[in-house]
Every structure is written in C-alpha cells, then in structure tokens.
Amino acid sequence: MPKIEVHENLFNSLLGTPYTDEQLEAVFPVAKAELDGHDVAEKLYKIELNDTNRPDLWSAAGVARQLVSYRDKAIARYDFFSTAEEELDSEGRRLVVHESAALVRPFSIGFAATGKVVDEEILLNLIQSQEKLCNNFGRKRKTIAMGVYRSDMITYPVHFEGADPDKAHFVPLHMDEDLTLREICAKHPKGLEYGPIVADKPVFPFLYDDANGVLSFPPVINSARIGAVEVGDEHLFFEFSGTGLDDLLLAASIVACDCSDMGFTILPVRCEFPYDTDYGRMITVPYYFQQPAACELGFLRKMLGDALSGEQVVDALCRMGVFALVDENMVYITVPEYRNDFLHPVDIVEDVMIGHGLENFAPELPNDSTVGRITEEEAFARKVKELMVGLGFQEMMYNYLGSKREYIENMHVDGSDYIQIANPMSENYEYVRPSVIPSLLESESVSGHAVYPHQIFEVGKVAFLDESDNSGTTTRNYLGFLGASSDMGFNQLSSQISTLFYFLNREYVMQEMADPRFIDGRCGKLVSKGVEVGIFGEVHPAVLESWGIAMPTVACEIDLDLLK
C-alpha cells in the first residue's frame, strides 16, 4: 500500500478549508485513505492509500481533489487536455522520439508547466509523486520513469533516442564527473539501482535538447544542469518514458492535474513518434486517451441490492468526480482525465457505492438456505485428536516451514524428496515440513524444563515431492506423536498405537524396517490393508544428540489420509 506524507499548508490550501484529524478520518474512506499519523511538529500528515489501482490518489492534490469533489459535489475541470479530435497549441514545444528508442524504451512523452514558483513543499511533493508513480505504479521505473527539468534552459525540440552507452555522456546529478551512460550504471548510486533495467540492451535511453544539452539518462538519472530542479524555479518540463503508452499518458495526466491544482499553468508539448501508436504518430500531451465507460442500470441495482434512481446514480458519481448521465437503462460516464481504472462496469458500481455513501445501504441477511459441513479430513482429524487427548497427549501446533538443520541434518536423513524454497528469506524457513516428527523433536529440545513425562502430538499438514501429482508434490494430513521420559520405551508406544487403531476401527500389522531416525530393531512400519500408513520407533540416540535431547524418546507418525 502506498504511503505518502503531505504538508499541512499545501493540503489545507488544496482543500480550501482546514480539517481536524477527526474530520479527516471521517472523510478519508471516500478516497480509500487512512490517516496513519499527524506529525504536528513537522506539520506533516501521514496518509496510507489502499487502492493500488488509483495512482491519482497518491499525492496531496489527488487526495484533496477527491475529498473536495465529494464535499462540494463538484467535478474538477481541466482545460489543457488535447484529444483525438482537438489538438491544443503546443507553441513550438516538441519532443521527438527517434527510431533507435524502439530498441530499448519505445515511448517518451512530456509537457511543461509555468506560472508558479517552486517552494520547498511543492518540490517535496513533486519528488514524492515521482517516487510513487515510478516505484509503485511503474514497477520500480521498469514501465514508468519520470523526470522534471528546468524548462527555461531547454532549446526545443527535445530528443529521445537509443544512444551508444559508451559514447553518450554527461555530468549526472549529485556528481561532478562527466561519465558515459555505461559508466553511470557502474558508478552512480542510481545507476547501480536502476541501470539493470536497460543494461542488456544494445542502446541506452538518452534525452537531450536541440542544443545538445543533456536532460537525462532515463530511467536512471537526470543531468546536473537541466535536470537539477530547485526551490525558486518557475518553469518546469516533465518527461515520462516507458514501455506502454497508456501508463505514461495516465502518469502525465495525473502530474499535470496535480500541478494545475497547485497553481501552475500547464503548457502542452507535441510528442512525435517515428512509428504508429494507438493514438497516432503525433500526440499532444497532456492527452485525454480514456474511452467512455458504461454500466447497465439494472446490473448496478442488482449488484448494490438497491433500486437507486438515475438521479441518485448521477449524484453519487458526481461526488466521486465522475461525470455521468443516465439514458434509458444505461449509465454513461466520462472517465476523469487522471483515472484509468474502469475495466468493467463493476468499477462504476463501486464508485456509485462510495459516492452514495456506504452507510446508506442497510445490511440484509442472505436468505439462501445451505447446509454447513466440515471436510471428511477434518472430521477424521477430530476423532484422532480426541483419542490422543484420551491417551494423555498434549496437542501442539507448529509452523510448516523450517531449516535444513531441523528437517535434514538433525534427523540424519538425506531429504531428497523434501520441498525446498527457491527464495528463502532466511535459512530458518528454507524447507516445507515433510514430517511432523522434527516439529515434535524441536519441542522436546526446548522443553527440558517442563515436568515429565512429555506426551505430545499434532494433527497437521506435511508436504513432500511426489512425481505422480501435477505439481510434483503432495500435501498430506498427518498425525505425529512423541513420548519422552526416563522410562519411556517401545512397549508403551506399542500399546498406544494398538489402542489408537482399535478405536479408529482399523486393522494393522507392524513390520520391521530400518530407518536412520530410529534404533535398529526397535522401529517398524505400520501396515494397514497392505498399505504402509505410518512409522514408529525409539528415536535414535544420534538423532537425540543432534537435537540436544537428553531423555529417552519414542515417536510415531501416521498418514491419516491413507487411513480415513
């Protein structure tokens, strides 16, 4: 979930009137936002945004816009968008994408903004927007990278090309040295972090102006000159590069609307491509690319369980900042410039729900009659647990992930059919539990202080490799139990197994076998109806020693899925 920090002054000026924390908490759900904290000393609100599909809300202006439209029932209007039908005047500002860009990062678009002096709060806000859009929405700059530049230093047109990484060079931000693009990848902290996105390409993205002034090496780092925006700057150029045009146009729209809300005048830039795009070879940005969306009124009412009138629906959407009209049985909406999350009519339904107010829908109990039941496995497990408790055992519950030491080394087995995690966070959680016995022995190893005798059990899942399954693995429901005390031995274990099988009403025989976990000649398998269903025995002192256990221990494990 994206979290943002918003300065009080900026937020209040965007809202028009200041809100108390309580008031904010009450209205935030409209933006699926939560007030995470309010640092009164630093004058910062900490806000968590829950909708990962609404990047327009990840900024002070975005949250404020949503709250204001809900409060005032007013839709924000922006007049700087070009459309397929109407192209605004870009006054000679152009961004030219060269053919070579297709080899590494096919799209770059931009727009300019002016008329407002960048102050500390605005600068921090822009940096935060860049980070949220590029990291959270742009998959760590893979699909969206954004740069802000000093527009007054740029000689249009701006050029975007795939450049020779060993020839193109400039002085990157926060450095004094003139480096080639490849050197930046090796030396600059941002190069180390984001260089890998383009490292295997024959050419690297390169943004420069018509006077050969370098803007940046997207998606890695700006130049130290044109790319060093500071407090006091008044003329900005925004550029977005990436792999998909829709994401870039949306990101540009969001930033343009935010800047406009903060007092900037947005200046369109004509972006030219040497190849066809969904919106032609020439796109004037900010560009409204969204398609209208619609929803059947009947579907909307059925989903909400409420026969809202057409007027109520239009009102609700208006509060969400969405222009709508109802014609016959259809709701038609104009998708706001800064949103692109209407995939399906249900997305309109949710906006109506929020705009209408969740508190205005009265809960009703589902009236379909259905029969409740637990699974067969659960029913059998309960029977087994009841018997184990009757035999004097304490039920335990364990984690299902463990270490190589616990599952393999301490058990003196090779672990060849165990499931291993490819990307363990720690060696403590590297294997999936193949057996309950290591879990029980872990208990024993940490419970020397508990009064003896120890009799413990667990009914739980284990998993291991199994070629016959589609996944190559199998998950089983197992019973494992263990006894430890100075006089614990084979005879007692044998009696317990016999009692358990008697009351489960299953026949079994014990067959001798050798298993490194147990003492030879005091270990066997349990065979029921000709199928091996379990193993039991006195735990081998070598195993006990590995676990640091100083008490005679017996253990048994049964595959309940084979027995039920």
Closest distance to another protein from the beta carbon of 400 (Å) = 5
**Residue type for position 410:** N
Q: Which of residues 144-183 bind another protein (CB under 8 A)?
A: none
Which of 250-258, 321-329, 463-471, 513-521 is the region at the interface with another protein (rule: CB under 8 A)? 463-471
Closest distance to another protein from the beta carbon of 394 (Å) = 5
* Of positions 20, 470, 487, 530, contacts another protein by CB under 8 A: 470
- Contact letters for another protein, residues 302-341 (x by CB under 8 A): xxxxx-----------------------------------
Please tell me whether residue 416 binds another protein under the rule CB under 8 A. no
Which of 8-16, 108-116, 473-481, 512-520 is the region at the interface with another protein (rule: CB under 8 A)? 473-481
Closest distance to another protein from the beta carbon of 54 (Å) = 8
Closest distance to another protein from the beta carbon of 471 (Å) = 5
Give the integer Cα–Cα distance in Å for 418 and 441: 18
3-state secondary structure of 552: coil
Closest distance to another protein from the beta carbon of 443 (Å) = 4
Q: What is the maximal distance between C-alpha atoms in the chain?
A: 95
User: Using an 8 Å Cβ cutoff, are 303 and 267 in contact?
Assistant: no
Strands (E), 26-178: 33-39, 44-49, 94-97, 107-114, 144-150, 158-163, 169-170
Which of 192-200, 219-227, 397-405, 547-555 is the region at the interface with another protein (rule: CB under 8 A)? 397-405
* Of positions 328, 368, 414, 507, contacts another protein by CB under 8 A: 368
Please tell me whether residue 363 binds another protein under the rule CB under 8 A. yes
User: Using an 8 Å Cβ cutoff, are 455 and 538 in contact?
Assistant: no
Strand partners, 535: 525, 557
- Write the Ramachandran bin of 321: left for phi over 0, alpha for psi from -120 to 50, otherwise beta: left
User: Virtual CA dihedral for 78, 235, 250, 58, nearest 10 degrees?
Assistant: -90
Which of 39-47, 65-73, 183-191, 398-406 is the region at the interface with another protein (rule: CB under 8 A)? 398-406
Closest distance to another protein from the beta carbon of 77 (Å) = 25
Closest distance to another protein from the beta carbon of 249 (Å) = 13
**Long-range contacts formed by 360-363: CB under 8 A, 24+ apart:** 361/304, 361/305, 361/306
Please tell me whether residue 409 binds another protein under the rule CB under 8 A. no
Strand partners, 359: none
* Of positions 311, 373, 487, 507, contacts another protein by CB under 8 A: 373
Give the integer Cα–Cα distance in Å for 510 and 506: 13
Q: Which of residues 118-147 bind another protein (CB under 8 A)?
A: 136, 139, 143
Residue among 261 and 442 whose Cβ is closer to another protein: 442
Please tell me whether residue 463 binds another protein under the rule CB under 8 A. yes
Closest distance to another protein from the beta carbon of 459 (Å) = 9
Size of the site for another protein (CB under 8 A): 95
Three-state DSSP string of 236-302: EEEEEEECCHHHHHHHHHHHHHHHHHCCCEEECEEEECCCCCCCCCEEEECECCCCCEEEEHHHHHH
Residue among 173 and 304 whose Cβ is closer to another protein: 304
CA dist 20 to 267, 354, 444, Å? 36, 22, 55
Residue among 389 and 513 whose Cβ is closer to another protein: 389
3-state secondary structure of 149: strand
Q: Which of residues 44-103 bind another protein (CB under 8 A)?
A: 50-54
DSSP code of 393? P
Strand partners, 522: none
Q: Which of residues 13-42 bind another protein (CB under 8 A)?
A: 29-30, 32
* Of positions 92, 232, 366, 530, contacts another protein by CB under 8 A: 366
Which of 71-79, 206-214, 426-434, 532-540 is the region at the interface with another protein (rule: CB under 8 A)? 426-434
Give the integer Cα–Cα distance in Å for 120 and 5: 14
Residue 336 in tokens = 């706001």
* Of positions 422, 505, 507, 530, contacts another protein by CB under 8 A: 422
Please tell me whether residue 250 binds another protein under the rule CB under 8 A. no
Strands (E), 107-244: 107-114, 144-150, 158-163, 169-170, 179-180, 204-209, 214-217, 221-222, 236-242
Residue among 139 and 522 whose Cβ is closer to another protein: 139
Residue among 78 and 398 whose Cβ is closer to another protein: 398
DSSP code of 5? E
